[in-house]
């Protein structure tokens, strides 16, 4: 070898020369080519994915249905049927995730399908609260999506894939964690088919969205834009498998009672009717809801079939609203007491004042959310003045104080339907 000739540099891992590769990166004692870097990255990703899955299994807090319901009881008042149904569905879903597919001692090829859930209930009855509470208990990623903003691809609005973008963000972009999360789709009734009559215009925010949701609910590989859909078309897509994501949908389904009433009353007429069927509660028709009613309302059969679990939430009566105000761990009264404690003020409520708040919530038919609105209307002045008043150490909300402050608020001017 001539004295001035240099030895050709090669990759220390595969032995390829610099002319045979695109990039050759120099290290302290060796070199590595782009091919070896790509192969090493795939090995690292596979190892990290396996560790993530084992970590998820160890972090997943799975309890028996009765224990799940007991946990829900601490945060949600009433709604016994909905809590029992949700507890069983969630238990079966995560029991399915934890089953050992590698078990070589069994030849059982039975594959358990997931049980997506639909909640039917009036506004403010606790649909979103149930889903959020169950996600907190299980320690899994959770996101809330609004179905009203979804449209078909190519139209103004958001694609259905944006739902998974929010779940991915909630999981801190950990794909393995997101693939075992819970998605709550609110206002699912707003994407009902607008009309059965033929139209020259496309139903891009109704039946079109229902068709687009099918692939997400069934379980498939979906390419998800990490920052949302149409504003960043240049971003790299992330692939998520929705097979193990639990979808919970909720909606008020305003007007579905007419479909239920028509079906129930029809079934109680004729020779085959029974006295038991005839004695149904007209005040709470939602308890008789069935997939047939969802179809009559405007959901397509394919979508209904992907929600095998259908349950209802009872309308809130006066007693339930009163308990919601004081009993749960995060009850409104406890929240306000805590807020004023931070300003060294001892706050208390007179029993009659609480009754006044409940009466107004019943009058305006605002559900549990109405309690918060009424409390804010009553206490805004106090929350404004108290932090700067060093002499005020304690305060009791009386019924007279509540009536005076509420009468001055804008909400008191609403017309009761």
Q: What is the mean pLDDT of residues 348-353?
A: 93
Determine how β-strand 117-120 pairs with β-strand 394-397: unpaired
- Report the candidate in 308, 314, 267, 313 with the shortest Cα–Cα distance to residue 291: 308
In angstroms, the CA 398 to CA 355 distance is 10
- pLDDT top residue among 5 and 79: 79
Q: What is the mean pLDDT of residues 392-396?
A: 90
Matching residue, tokens 């679990």: 309
CB-based contact 130:182 (threshold 8 Å): no
pLDDT digits (tens, 9 = 90+) for 142-176: 888 888 888 766 666 677 888 888 899 888 888 88
In angstroms, the CA 17 to CA 98 distance is 48
Residue 28 has pLDDT above 60, yes or no: yes
pLDDT of res. 191: 86
pLDDT digits (tens, 9 = 90+) for 216-244: 888 888 888 877 655 555 668 888 999 88
CB-based contact 61:137 (threshold 8 Å): yes
294: Cβ contacts below 8 Å, ≥ 6 apart: 118, 120, 253, 256, 304, 310
- Report the candidate in 324, 342, 326 with the shortest Cα–Cα distance to residue 334: 326
Domain boundaries, the chain: 18-52, 60-98+113-195+202-312, 318-413
Residue 265 has pLDDT above 70, yes or no: yes
Residue 405 has pLDDT above 50, yes or no: yes
In angstroms, the CA 371 to CA 359 distance is 10
**Which pLDDT band holds residue 6 (cuts at 50, 70, 90)?**
low
CB-based contact 240:164 (threshold 8 Å): yes
pLDDT of res. 355: 93
Residue 12 has pLDDT above 70, yes or no: yes
| Fold exhibited by the domain 318-413 | Helicase, Ruva Protein; domain 3 (1.10.8)
Q: What is the mean pLDDT of residues 82-95?
A: 88
Supply 115's token pair. 């049980």
Residue 202 has pLDDT above 70, yes or no: no
For 65, the enclosing helix (H) or strand (E) is helix 65-73
Long-range contacts of 352-360 (CB under 8 A, 24+ apart): 352/398, 352/399, 353/397, 353/398, 353/399, 353/401, 353/402, 354/322, 354/325, 354/326, 355/322, 355/399, 356/399, 356/402, 356/403, 356/406, 357/325, 357/402, 358/318, 358/321, 358/322, 358/325, 359/318, 360/406
Residue 281 has pLDDT above 80, yes or no: no
Residue 104 has pLDDT above 50, yes or no: no
CB-based contact 265:282 (threshold 8 Å): no
Q: What is the mean pLDDT of residues 99-123?
A: 71
Biggest alpha carbon–alpha carbon distance for the chain: 110
Residue 93 has pLDDT above 90, yes or no: no
- Report the candidate in 393, 396, 395, 397 with the shortest Cα–Cα distance to residue 344: 393
Residue 5 has pLDDT above 60, yes or no: no
C-alpha separations of 229 from 150, 161, 235, 236, 342 in Å: 11, 7, 9, 11, 41
pLDDT digits (tens, 9 = 90+) for 55-75: 555 556 668 899 999 999 999
264: Cβ contacts below 8 Å, ≥ 6 apart: 277, 280, 285, 288
**Which pLDDT band holds residue 102 (cuts at 50, 70, 90)?**
very low
The conformation of residue 20, written as its DSSP 8-state character, comes to G
Q: What is the pTM of this model?
A: 0.74
Supply 405's token pair. 């402050």
- Cα 304 off chain centre by: 18
In angstroms, the CA 330 to CA 359 distance is 21
Mean pLDDT value across the chain: 82
pLDDT of res. 215: 84
- pLDDT top residue among 294 and 152: 294
Half-sphere exposure of 135 (CA within 13 A, CB side): 25
Q: What is the mean pLDDT of residues 308-329?
A: 90
Q: How many residues does the chain have?
A: 417
Supply 381's token pair. 């002045």
Residue 192 has pLDDT above 50, yes or no: yes
The CATH number given to 60-98+113-195+202-312 is 3.40.50.300
63: Cβ contacts below 8 Å, ≥ 6 apart: 71, 91, 137
Residue 269 has pLDDT above 80, yes or no: no
Q: pLDDT over 90 for what percent of the chain? A: 23
pLDDT of res. 52: 57
Residue 112 has pLDDT above 80, yes or no: no
pLDDT of res. 1: 45
Supply 64's token pair. 């028996």
């Amino acid at each position: 070898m001539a004295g001035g000739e240099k030895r050709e540099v090669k990759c220390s891992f595969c032995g390829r020369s610099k002319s045979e590769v695109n990039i050759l990166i120099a290290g302290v004692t060796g070199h590595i080519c782009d091919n070896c870097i790509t192969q090493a990255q795939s090995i690292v990703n596979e190892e990290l994915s396996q560790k993530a899955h084992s970590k998820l299994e160890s972090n997943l807090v799975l309890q028996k249905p009765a224990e799940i319901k007991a946990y829900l009881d601490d945060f949600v008042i009433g709604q016994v049927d909905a809590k029992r149904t949700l507890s069983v569905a969630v238990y079966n879903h995560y029991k399915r995730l934890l089953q050992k597919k590698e078990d070589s001692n069994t030849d059982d090829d039975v594959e358990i399908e997931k049980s997506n859930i639909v909640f039917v209930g009036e506004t403010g009855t606790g649909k979103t609260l149930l889903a959020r509470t169950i996600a907190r208990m299980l320690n899994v990623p959770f996101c809330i999506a609004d179905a009203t903003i979804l449209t078909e691809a190519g139209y103004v609005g958001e694609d259905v894939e944006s739902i998974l973008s929010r779940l991915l963000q909630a999981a801190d972009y950990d794909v393995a964690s997101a693939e075992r999360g819970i998605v709550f789709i609110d206002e699912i009734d707003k994407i009902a088919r607008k009309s059965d009559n033929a139209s020259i215009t496309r139903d891009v925010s109704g039946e079109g969205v229902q068709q687009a949701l099918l692939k997400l609910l069934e379980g498939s590989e979906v390419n998800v834009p990490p920052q949302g859909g149409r504003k960043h078309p240049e971003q790299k897509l992330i692939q998520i498998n929705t097979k193990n994501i639990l979808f919970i949908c909720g909606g008020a389904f305003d007007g579905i009672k007419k479909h239920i009433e028509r079906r129930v009353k029809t079934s109680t007429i004729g020779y085959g009717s029974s006295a038991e069927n005839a004695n149904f509660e007209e005040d709470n028709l939602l308890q008789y809801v069935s997939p047939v009613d969802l179809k009559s309302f405007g959901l397509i059969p394919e979508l209904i079939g992907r929600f095998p679990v259908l349950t209802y939430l009872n309308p809130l009566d006066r007693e339930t609203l009163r308990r919601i105000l004081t009993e749960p761990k995060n009850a409104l009264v406890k929240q306000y007491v805590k807020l004023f404690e931070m300003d060294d003020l001892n706050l208390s409520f007179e029993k009659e004042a609480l009754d006044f708040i409940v009466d107004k919530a019943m009058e305006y038919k605002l559900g549990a959310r109405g309690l918060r609105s009424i409390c804010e209307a009553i206490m805004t002045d106090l929350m404004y003045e108290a932090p700067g008043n060093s002499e005020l150490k304690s305060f009791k909300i009386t019924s007279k104080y509540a009536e005076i402050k509420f009468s001055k608020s804008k909400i008191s001017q609403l017309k009761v339907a």
